[in-house]
Amino acid sequence: MAYAILGKVYGDTFQTVLAAENVGKAYALRNHASERERFFITVNLPCPGNGKPGTSVPRQFIEIDPDFPPGPANAAWSYIFVDGLPEAEAVLQKAVARKLEVPDLFLLSYYVAFLKGDAGAMERAAAAAGDKPGAEDWMLSAQASVSAYSGRLQQSRAMVRRAMDLALQGKQPERAAMYQAGAAVREAFFGNVLEARRNARAALQLSQSRDVEYGAAFALAVAGDTLASQALAKRLERFPEDSIVQFTYLPVLGALAALKHGDPAHALDLLRTAAPYDLSIPGSWFGFFGNLYPIYVRGQAYLEAHRPAEAAAEFQRILDHPGILFSDPVGVAARMQMAKAYAAMGDQAKAHAAYQNLLDLWKNADEDIPLGKEARAAH
């Protein structure tokens, strides 16, 4: 149980290498524990939900001990992931009234403000996280993600560097690596191939945790380096009982490789494993990437299989879940791919509207981003 609890604490502080090491030790020794302890040890292994997180248990935590900070944080996340913004706001207001402070609560306020389109509230939430251990660097990473989502990539890069510096100053190289892996994914989605590859490899120099490896592998695959991506996917096979790896990471990376080799049918077959977990929240979400990726890659596969109507439906599914999507760059890419799907269907009006949707989102974007140039040319 000591190993299990250590693993849980390391996981809650986003030190996933140490978390996996301790949870693994606990799991290997589980038969020396009671039945109740074995249950705790077993569920401590990474396991994604089915995309329909419950809110009843977090609410019960608050009722039992309203001054226990993880209670409102978990409840607010659960509400947000099912698009329950009013409920999430109510939970956060009560937490603020009780003067509870944990990094999640600062980030949640920013997250909610973003989803509501309230720039002033976003600024206030970001300011409140300043100088707060565990919150300041994470908030900067969130701001970097939001800036990139609007196409302000130069600003995003500067914020990532600051977030990484703070994480490294706090002797948290894995956090820094997650931020850089997220940057690699953004660069890849937006067509900056060299930047994507550089960031992916630099992130791996800082940490070779499960989620950093996935981010690097995904970025490298999208940036065209399938060989390096598949080498990382092979390394991820060292987690045979990790649900996130087996049901999200490996199917997605395998499908990307299949698409690179011109085999969309095989890609779709691989993604059937991920289908029950399409809306799950993987460990990579801490770096603001990885949510809804099985859906996106499935949409790509349908598009390459000349099934544009099914492709458009998949890309729309991504945009239909803003609480899960947040500012993940897959939301930008989905808009682009949806426009291509409508064009392939011969529906020029919808294609034009989809391109316009992307250009509206990027009205203040940097002008040299390849994805933006492509959208303007096609529009």
> Does 70 score more than 80 pLDDT?
no
pTM of the model: 0.91
CA–CA separation, 210 and 235 (whole Å): 9
When pLDDT is cut at 50, 70 and 90, the band that residue 285 belongs to is: very high
Q: Tell me: do 168 and 280 sit in the same domain.
A: yes
Query: CB–CB of 139/110 below 8 Å?
Result: yes
Is position 228 within any domain?
yes
Is position 124 within any domain?
no
Q: Tell me: do 152 and 295 sit in the same domain.
A: yes
Q: How many domains does the chain have?
A: 2
Is position 264 within any domain?
yes
3-class SS of residue 252: helix
The one-letter amino acid code at 204 reads: L
Query: CB–CB of 377/369 below 8 Å?
Result: no
Is position 80 within any domain?
no
Structural domain of residue 34, as residue ranges? Answer: 2-43
The one-letter amino acid code at 246 reads: Q
Is position 119 within any domain?
no
Q: Tell me: do 175 and 30 sit in the same domain.
A: no
Tell me: the pLDDT tens digits for 309-367? 999 999 999 999 999 999 999 999 999 999 999 999 999 999 999 999 999 999 999 99
Q: Tell me: do 244 and 347 sit in the same domain.
A: yes
List the CATH number of the domain containing 346: 1.25.40.10
Q: Taking residues 45-67, what's their average pLDDT?
A: 58
Q: Residue 291's CB: how many other CB atoms inside 10 A?
A: 26
Is position 205 within any domain?
yes
The CB-side HSE value for 18 (13 A sphere, CA atoms) comes to: 14
Q: Tell me: do 12 and 152 sit in the same domain.
A: no
Q: Tell me: do 35 and 144 sit in the same domain.
A: no
- Give burial (CB, 10 Å; 0-12/13-18/19+) of 56: exposed
CA–CA separation, 99 and 149 (whole Å): 32
